[in-house]
Amino acid sequence: MRAIIVTEYGGPEVLVVRDVPKPIPGPGRILVKLHTAGVNPVDSYLRSGAQGYSPTLPFTPGMDGAGTVEDVGDGVIGYAGGEEVYIAGSVTGTYAEYCLCSPGQVFPFPEKLDWAEGASLGVPYFTAARALFTRGGASPGESVLVHGASGGVGLACLQLAAPRSITVYGTAGSREGEALVRKNGAAECFSHRDPGRFKAIREATGGSGVNLIVEMLANINLDSDLKILAPGGRVVVVGSRGRIEISPRDLMSSESVVMGIRMPLATLEERREYARLIEEGVRSGSVRPPVASLYSLEEAGEAHKTVVKGPHAGNIVLEIDNP
Ligand code: NAP
Protein backbone atom coordinates (compact mmCIF):
# COMPACT_ATOMS: atom_id res chain seq x y z
CA MET A 1 0.00 0.00 0.00
CA ARG A 2 0.98 3.68 -0.30
CA ALA A 3 1.75 5.43 2.96
CA ILE A 4 3.66 8.44 4.21
CA ILE A 5 6.68 7.11 6.09
CA VAL A 6 8.69 9.55 8.20
CA THR A 7 12.24 8.18 8.57
CA GLU A 8 13.75 11.31 10.16
CA TYR A 9 12.23 14.19 12.12
CA GLY A 10 12.27 17.51 10.30
CA GLY A 11 10.38 19.91 8.02
CA PRO A 12 7.45 19.11 5.69
CA GLU A 13 9.94 17.57 3.19
CA VAL A 14 10.32 14.47 5.41
CA LEU A 15 6.75 13.45 4.48
CA VAL A 16 7.56 10.95 1.73
CA VAL A 17 5.18 8.43 0.11
CA ARG A 18 6.50 4.85 0.05
CA ASP A 19 5.20 1.40 -0.81
CA VAL A 20 4.92 -0.66 2.38
CA PRO A 21 3.11 -3.89 3.32
CA LYS A 22 -0.59 -3.56 4.09
CA PRO A 23 -1.09 -4.04 7.86
CA ILE A 24 -2.76 -7.21 9.16
CA PRO A 25 -5.23 -6.81 12.04
CA GLY A 26 -4.05 -8.78 15.08
CA PRO A 27 -6.24 -9.39 18.13
CA GLY A 28 -8.26 -6.31 19.14
CA ARG A 29 -7.41 -4.36 15.99
CA ILE A 30 -9.59 -3.00 13.16
CA LEU A 31 -8.20 -2.59 9.65
CA VAL A 32 -9.67 0.46 7.91
CA LYS A 33 -9.31 1.32 4.21
CA LEU A 34 -8.91 5.09 4.26
CA HIS A 35 -10.60 7.41 1.80
CA THR A 36 -9.46 10.62 3.52
CA ALA A 37 -7.19 11.73 6.38
CA GLY A 38 -7.54 14.87 8.48
CA VAL A 39 -4.50 17.13 8.92
CA ASN A 40 -4.08 18.79 12.33
CA PRO A 41 -1.35 21.08 13.74
CA VAL A 42 -0.30 18.31 16.15
CA ASP A 43 0.73 16.17 13.14
CA SER A 44 3.32 18.81 12.23
CA TYR A 45 4.65 19.01 15.82
CA LEU A 46 5.09 15.20 15.86
CA ARG A 47 6.75 15.25 12.42
CA SER A 48 9.28 17.88 13.55
CA GLY A 49 10.31 15.90 16.65
CA ALA A 50 10.75 19.23 18.47
CA GLN A 51 8.29 18.67 21.32
CA GLY A 52 9.90 15.51 22.71
CA TYR A 53 6.80 13.30 22.40
CA SER A 54 7.03 12.18 18.75
CA PRO A 55 6.59 8.50 17.83
CA THR A 56 9.70 6.40 17.37
CA LEU A 57 11.02 6.41 13.77
CA PRO A 58 9.94 5.28 11.25
CA PHE A 59 6.27 6.18 11.56
CA THR A 60 3.18 7.19 9.59
CA PRO A 61 1.54 10.43 10.81
CA GLY A 62 -2.18 11.12 11.17
CA MET A 63 -4.81 10.69 13.86
CA ASP A 64 -7.99 11.48 11.92
CA GLY A 65 -9.55 9.82 8.91
CA ALA A 66 -12.62 8.35 7.28
CA GLY A 67 -13.07 5.13 5.37
CA THR A 68 -14.43 1.61 5.30
CA VAL A 69 -13.73 -1.30 7.66
CA GLU A 70 -11.78 -3.90 5.67
CA ASP A 71 -11.22 -6.58 8.32
CA VAL A 72 -11.20 -7.08 12.09
CA GLY A 73 -8.88 -9.07 14.37
CA ASP A 74 -9.84 -11.67 16.97
CA GLY A 75 -11.90 -10.38 19.86
CA VAL A 76 -13.27 -7.31 18.07
CA ILE A 77 -17.03 -7.11 18.38
CA GLY A 78 -19.47 -4.52 17.03
CA TYR A 79 -17.56 -3.80 13.78
CA ALA A 80 -17.94 -5.59 10.46
CA GLY A 81 -16.23 -5.46 7.07
CA GLY A 82 -17.82 -2.89 4.76
CA GLU A 83 -18.96 -0.58 7.58
CA GLU A 84 -18.34 3.12 6.91
CA VAL A 85 -16.51 4.80 9.78
CA TYR A 86 -14.61 7.86 10.90
CA ILE A 87 -11.39 7.61 12.88
CA ALA A 88 -10.37 9.59 15.97
CA GLY A 89 -6.90 8.24 16.75
CA SER A 90 -5.06 5.40 15.04
CA VAL A 91 -2.48 2.81 16.05
CA THR A 92 -0.51 2.96 12.78
CA GLY A 93 -1.33 6.47 11.38
CA THR A 94 -3.92 7.68 8.88
CA TYR A 95 -1.71 9.17 6.14
CA ALA A 96 -1.92 5.81 4.35
CA GLU A 97 -4.20 3.66 2.24
CA TYR A 98 -4.88 1.41 5.24
CA CYS A 99 -4.45 1.79 8.99
CA LEU A 100 -5.01 -0.22 12.15
CA CYS A 101 -7.16 1.16 14.95
CA SER A 102 -8.42 -0.04 18.31
CA PRO A 103 -12.22 -0.13 18.85
CA GLY A 104 -12.25 3.13 20.91
CA GLN A 105 -10.81 4.98 17.90
CA VAL A 106 -13.43 4.00 15.29
CA PHE A 107 -16.98 5.39 15.14
CA PRO A 108 -19.93 4.91 12.76
CA PHE A 109 -19.80 7.36 9.86
CA PRO A 110 -22.53 9.98 10.29
CA GLU A 111 -24.94 10.04 7.38
CA LYS A 112 -25.13 13.45 5.69
CA LEU A 113 -21.34 14.07 5.76
CA ASP A 114 -18.90 13.49 2.92
CA TRP A 115 -15.53 11.74 3.32
CA ALA A 116 -13.56 14.98 3.72
CA GLU A 117 -15.93 16.23 6.43
CA GLY A 118 -15.76 12.86 8.20
CA ALA A 119 -11.95 13.10 8.35
CA SER A 120 -12.30 16.48 10.11
CA LEU A 121 -14.23 15.23 13.13
CA GLY A 122 -11.71 13.48 15.39
CA VAL A 123 -9.13 15.88 16.81
CA PRO A 124 -11.14 19.11 16.23
CA TYR A 125 -14.51 18.02 17.67
CA PHE A 126 -13.25 15.71 20.43
CA THR A 127 -10.93 18.51 21.60
CA ALA A 128 -13.72 21.10 21.40
CA ALA A 129 -16.10 18.90 23.41
CA ARG A 130 -13.46 18.27 26.07
CA ALA A 131 -12.51 21.96 26.30
CA LEU A 132 -16.08 23.25 26.45
CA PHE A 133 -17.86 20.67 28.57
CA THR A 134 -15.55 18.17 30.34
CA ARG A 135 -13.02 20.76 31.50
CA GLY A 136 -14.66 24.16 30.86
CA GLY A 137 -18.11 23.26 32.26
CA ALA A 138 -19.90 25.46 29.70
CA SER A 139 -23.62 25.56 30.42
CA PRO A 140 -26.74 27.18 28.92
CA GLY A 141 -27.01 30.90 29.59
CA GLU A 142 -23.24 31.38 29.83
CA SER A 143 -20.94 33.25 27.45
CA VAL A 144 -17.88 31.67 25.84
CA LEU A 145 -15.02 33.36 23.97
CA VAL A 146 -13.34 31.04 21.46
CA HIS A 147 -10.00 32.76 21.05
CA GLY A 148 -8.93 31.40 17.64
CA ALA A 149 -12.32 30.36 16.29
CA SER A 150 -11.47 30.09 12.57
CA GLY A 151 -9.37 26.91 12.88
CA GLY A 152 -10.41 23.27 13.25
CA VAL A 153 -10.95 23.23 17.02
CA GLY A 154 -12.42 26.74 17.11
CA LEU A 155 -15.11 26.09 14.51
CA ALA A 156 -15.99 22.83 16.27
CA CYS A 157 -16.38 24.80 19.54
CA LEU A 158 -18.81 27.18 17.83
CA GLN A 159 -20.89 24.37 16.34
CA LEU A 160 -21.10 22.47 19.63
CA ALA A 161 -21.75 25.44 21.93
CA ALA A 162 -24.05 27.76 19.95
CA PRO A 163 -27.03 25.31 19.74
CA ARG A 164 -26.92 24.84 23.56
CA SER A 165 -28.11 28.36 24.40
CA ILE A 166 -24.53 29.49 25.04
CA THR A 167 -23.58 32.93 23.70
CA VAL A 168 -20.38 32.40 21.75
CA TYR A 169 -17.89 35.08 20.74
CA GLY A 170 -15.05 34.23 18.37
CA THR A 171 -11.84 35.71 17.01
CA ALA A 172 -10.13 35.23 13.64
CA GLY A 173 -7.15 36.68 11.79
CA SER A 174 -8.69 37.40 8.37
CA ARG A 175 -11.92 38.73 6.87
CA GLU A 176 -12.63 35.28 5.41
CA GLY A 177 -12.07 33.67 8.82
CA GLU A 178 -14.31 36.24 10.53
CA ALA A 179 -17.12 35.54 8.05
CA LEU A 180 -16.81 31.79 8.66
CA VAL A 181 -16.87 32.29 12.43
CA ARG A 182 -20.08 34.35 12.20
CA LYS A 183 -21.64 31.80 9.86
CA ASN A 184 -20.93 29.01 12.36
CA GLY A 185 -22.88 30.47 15.26
CA ALA A 186 -20.77 33.25 16.84
CA ALA A 187 -22.85 36.13 18.18
CA GLU A 188 -19.92 38.41 17.29
CA CYS A 189 -16.46 37.98 15.83
CA PHE A 190 -13.38 40.07 16.59
CA SER A 191 -9.98 40.26 14.93
CA HIS A 192 -7.19 38.80 17.06
CA ARG A 193 -4.87 41.19 15.23
CA ASP A 194 -6.71 44.12 16.84
CA PRO A 195 -5.17 45.12 20.20
CA GLY A 196 -8.52 46.71 21.13
CA ARG A 197 -10.35 43.36 20.98
CA PHE A 198 -10.34 42.70 24.73
CA LYS A 199 -12.14 45.97 25.46
CA ALA A 200 -14.62 45.29 22.63
CA ILE A 201 -15.31 41.75 23.90
CA ARG A 202 -15.99 42.99 27.43
CA GLU A 203 -18.34 45.63 25.99
CA ALA A 204 -20.15 42.93 23.97
CA THR A 205 -20.97 41.17 27.27
CA GLY A 206 -22.51 44.38 28.62
CA GLY A 207 -19.42 44.90 30.80
CA SER A 208 -19.87 41.74 32.86
CA GLY A 209 -17.10 39.70 31.18
CA VAL A 210 -17.12 36.19 29.70
CA ASN A 211 -17.71 33.04 31.71
CA LEU A 212 -15.35 30.81 29.74
CA ILE A 213 -12.47 31.36 27.31
CA VAL A 214 -11.26 28.52 25.09
CA GLU A 215 -7.75 29.68 24.24
CA MET A 216 -5.82 28.51 21.13
CA LEU A 217 -2.73 30.70 21.63
CA ALA A 218 -2.22 31.17 25.37
CA ASN A 219 1.34 32.49 25.10
CA ILE A 220 -0.06 35.58 23.32
CA ASN A 221 -3.41 36.07 25.05
CA LEU A 222 -3.54 34.61 28.56
CA ASP A 223 -2.57 37.74 30.50
CA SER A 224 -5.28 39.80 28.78
CA ASP A 225 -7.83 36.94 28.91
CA LEU A 226 -7.70 37.03 32.72
CA LYS A 227 -8.82 40.68 32.68
CA ILE A 228 -12.06 40.04 30.75
CA LEU A 229 -13.45 37.14 32.79
CA ALA A 230 -16.72 37.34 34.70
CA PRO A 231 -16.57 36.38 38.40
CA GLY A 232 -15.89 32.64 38.62
CA GLY A 233 -14.62 32.66 35.03
CA ARG A 234 -12.53 29.87 33.51
CA VAL A 235 -9.83 29.74 30.83
CA VAL A 236 -9.18 26.41 29.11
CA VAL A 237 -5.78 26.41 27.41
CA VAL A 238 -5.99 24.29 24.25
CA GLY A 239 -2.95 25.65 22.40
CA SER A 240 0.22 27.55 23.32
CA ARG A 241 3.48 28.09 21.47
CA GLY A 242 5.65 29.66 24.15
CA ARG A 243 5.79 31.30 27.57
CA ILE A 244 3.83 34.24 28.99
CA GLU A 245 3.88 36.27 32.19
CA ILE A 246 0.56 36.77 34.01
CA SER A 247 -0.43 38.67 37.13
CA PRO A 248 -1.86 36.24 39.74
CA ARG A 249 -3.79 39.24 41.10
CA ASP A 250 -6.09 38.92 38.07
CA LEU A 251 -7.01 35.40 39.23
CA MET A 252 -7.96 36.79 42.64
CA SER A 253 -10.05 39.68 41.35
CA SER A 254 -12.53 37.42 39.52
CA GLU A 255 -11.86 34.17 41.46
CA SER A 256 -11.00 32.65 38.11
CA VAL A 257 -9.39 29.37 37.13
CA VAL A 258 -6.92 28.52 34.36
CA MET A 259 -6.74 24.91 33.23
CA GLY A 260 -5.32 22.94 30.33
CA ILE A 261 -6.51 20.02 28.27
CA ARG A 262 -4.62 17.12 26.76
CA MET A 263 -6.67 14.85 24.51
CA PRO A 264 -4.75 11.61 25.22
CA LEU A 265 -5.98 11.86 28.83
CA ALA A 266 -9.64 11.46 27.76
CA THR A 267 -11.14 8.17 28.95
CA LEU A 268 -12.95 5.76 26.65
CA GLU A 269 -16.28 6.80 28.18
CA GLU A 270 -15.49 10.47 27.55
CA ARG A 271 -14.53 9.72 23.94
CA ARG A 272 -17.80 7.86 23.42
CA GLU A 273 -19.65 10.85 24.84
CA TYR A 274 -17.84 13.18 22.39
CA ALA A 275 -18.83 10.85 19.52
CA ARG A 276 -22.43 10.97 20.76
CA LEU A 277 -22.41 14.79 20.78
CA ILE A 278 -21.03 14.78 17.23
CA GLU A 279 -23.65 12.30 16.00
CA GLU A 280 -26.45 14.32 17.63
CA GLY A 281 -25.08 17.52 16.07
CA VAL A 282 -24.77 16.04 12.59
CA ARG A 283 -28.33 14.71 12.82
CA SER A 284 -29.73 18.10 13.89
CA GLY A 285 -27.62 19.94 11.29
CA SER A 286 -25.50 21.98 13.74
CA VAL A 287 -22.29 19.94 13.21
CA ARG A 288 -20.70 20.11 9.77
CA PRO A 289 -16.92 20.62 9.51
CA PRO A 290 -16.03 23.36 6.99
CA VAL A 291 -13.29 21.89 4.79
CA ALA A 292 -10.89 24.59 3.59
CA SER A 293 -8.62 22.60 1.26
CA LEU A 294 -7.93 19.12 -0.12
CA TYR A 295 -4.49 17.69 -0.91
CA SER A 296 -3.30 14.35 -2.29
CA LEU A 297 -1.17 11.99 -0.18
CA GLU A 298 1.86 13.13 -2.22
CA GLU A 299 1.07 16.74 -1.22
CA ALA A 300 1.11 16.03 2.55
CA GLY A 301 4.11 18.35 2.95
CA GLU A 302 2.16 21.24 1.39
CA ALA A 303 -0.78 20.43 3.67
CA HIS A 304 1.54 20.68 6.70
CA LYS A 305 2.85 24.06 5.55
CA THR A 306 -0.73 25.32 5.28
CA VAL A 307 -1.88 23.96 8.65
CA VAL A 308 0.79 25.82 10.62
CA LYS A 309 0.84 29.00 8.51
CA GLY A 310 -2.75 30.32 8.55
CA PRO A 311 -4.82 32.42 8.39
CA HIS A 312 -7.40 29.66 8.56
CA ALA A 313 -10.85 29.18 7.17
CA GLY A 314 -11.60 25.55 8.02
CA ASN A 315 -10.06 22.08 8.04
CA ILE A 316 -7.34 20.59 5.83
CA VAL A 317 -7.78 17.08 4.42
CA LEU A 318 -5.72 14.54 2.43
CA GLU A 319 -7.72 12.74 -0.25
CA ILE A 320 -6.36 9.20 -0.42
CA ASP A 321 -8.93 7.20 -2.34
CA ASN A 322 -12.20 9.07 -2.64
CA PRO A 323 -14.72 6.54 -3.98
P1 NAP B 1 -5.68 25.52 13.44
O2 NAP B 1 -6.76 24.91 12.63
O3 NAP B 1 -4.31 25.66 12.89
O4 NAP B 1 -6.21 26.96 13.93
C5 NAP B 1 -5.40 27.83 14.67
C6 NAP B 1 -6.29 28.95 15.18
O7 NAP B 1 -5.52 29.85 15.98
C8 NAP B 1 -6.88 29.76 14.04
O9 NAP B 1 -8.23 30.08 14.35
C10 NAP B 1 -6.03 30.99 14.04
O11 NAP B 1 -6.71 32.11 13.47
C12 NAP B 1 -5.86 31.17 15.54
N13 NAP B 1 -4.89 32.19 15.91
C14 NAP B 1 -3.83 32.66 15.19
N15 NAP B 1 -3.27 33.69 15.88
C16 NAP B 1 -4.01 33.86 17.01
C17 NAP B 1 -3.95 34.78 18.11
N18 NAP B 1 -2.99 35.72 18.21
N19 NAP B 1 -4.88 34.67 19.08
C20 NAP B 1 -5.85 33.73 19.02
N21 NAP B 1 -5.94 32.84 18.03
C22 NAP B 1 -5.03 32.91 17.03
O23 NAP B 1 -5.47 24.74 14.79
P24 NAP B 1 -6.55 23.90 15.63
O25 NAP B 1 -6.62 22.54 15.11
O26 NAP B 1 -7.79 24.72 15.74
O27 NAP B 1 -5.79 23.85 17.04
C28 NAP B 1 -5.54 25.05 17.78
C29 NAP B 1 -4.38 24.83 18.73
O30 NAP B 1 -4.74 23.85 19.68
C31 NAP B 1 -3.12 24.30 18.03
O32 NAP B 1 -1.99 24.87 18.65
C33 NAP B 1 -3.15 22.81 18.33
O34 NAP B 1 -1.91 22.21 18.33
C35 NAP B 1 -3.78 22.81 19.72
N36 NAP B 1 -4.47 21.56 20.08
C37 NAP B 1 -4.27 21.09 21.33
C38 NAP B 1 -4.94 19.95 21.75
C39 NAP B 1 -4.76 19.46 23.17
O40 NAP B 1 -5.02 18.29 23.47
N41 NAP B 1 -4.34 20.36 24.05
C42 NAP B 1 -5.78 19.25 20.87
C43 NAP B 1 -5.97 19.78 19.59
C44 NAP B 1 -5.31 20.95 19.20
P45 NAP B 1 -6.34 32.68 12.00
O46 NAP B 1 -5.71 31.56 11.24
O47 NAP B 1 -7.67 33.12 11.46
O48 NAP B 1 -5.41 33.82 12.25
Total domains present in the chain = 2
Residue nearest to atom 14 of ligand 1 (CA): 148
Specify the ligand 1 atom closest to the Cα of 147: 20
**Lining residues, ligand 1, CB within 6 Å:** 40-42, 123-124, 127, 147-154, 171-174, 177, 192, 216-217, 220-221, 238-239, 261-263, 307, 310-312
For helices 152-161 and 122-129, give the axis angle rounded to 10 degrees: 50
Residue 312 CA: nearest ligand 1 atom is 46
Centre of ligand 1 to C-alpha 148, Å, is 6
In a domain, 279, yes or no: no
Cβ atoms of 34 and 64 within 8 Å: the answer is no
Q: Which residue is closest in CA terms to ligand 1's atom 31?
A: 239
Shared domain check, 249 and 171:
yes
Co-location of 117 and 170 in the same domain: no
Q: How far apart, in whole angstroms, are the C-alpha atoms of residue 72 and residue 74?
A: 7
DSSP at 194: -
37 and 296 in contact (C-beta within 8 Å)?
no
DSSP assignment of 238-270: ---SS-----HHHHHHTT-EEEE--GGG--HHH
My answer on whether 293 and 240 are in the same domain is: no
| CA 217 – ligand 1 centroid, Å | 6
Based on the domain organization, do 54 and 137 belong to the same domain?
no
Residue 18 counted as domain residue: yes
Cβ atoms 29, 94 nearer than 8 A:
no
| CA 307 to centroid of ligand 1, rounded, Å | 9
Cis omega (within 30 of 0) on the bond before 58? yes
Which domain, by its residues, includes 63? 2-121+289-319
pLDDT tens, per residue, the chain with 323 residues: 999 999 999 999 999 999 999 999 999 999 999 999 999 999 999 999 988 889 999 999 999 999 999 999 999 999 999 999 999 999 999 999 999 999 999 999 999 999 999 999 999 999 999 999 999 999 999 999 999 999 999 999 999 999 999 999 999 999 999 999 999 999 999 999 999 999 999 999 999 999 999 999 999 999 999 999 999 999 999 999 999 999 999 999 999 999 999 999 999 999 999 999 999 999 999 999 999 999 999 999 999 999 998 787 889 999 999 66
Domain termination site, one of 225, 247, 264: 264
For the question of whether the overall pTM of this predicted structure is more than 0.85, the answer is yes
Both 108 and 129 in one domain: the answer is: no
Asked whether residue 284 is domain-assigned, the answer is no
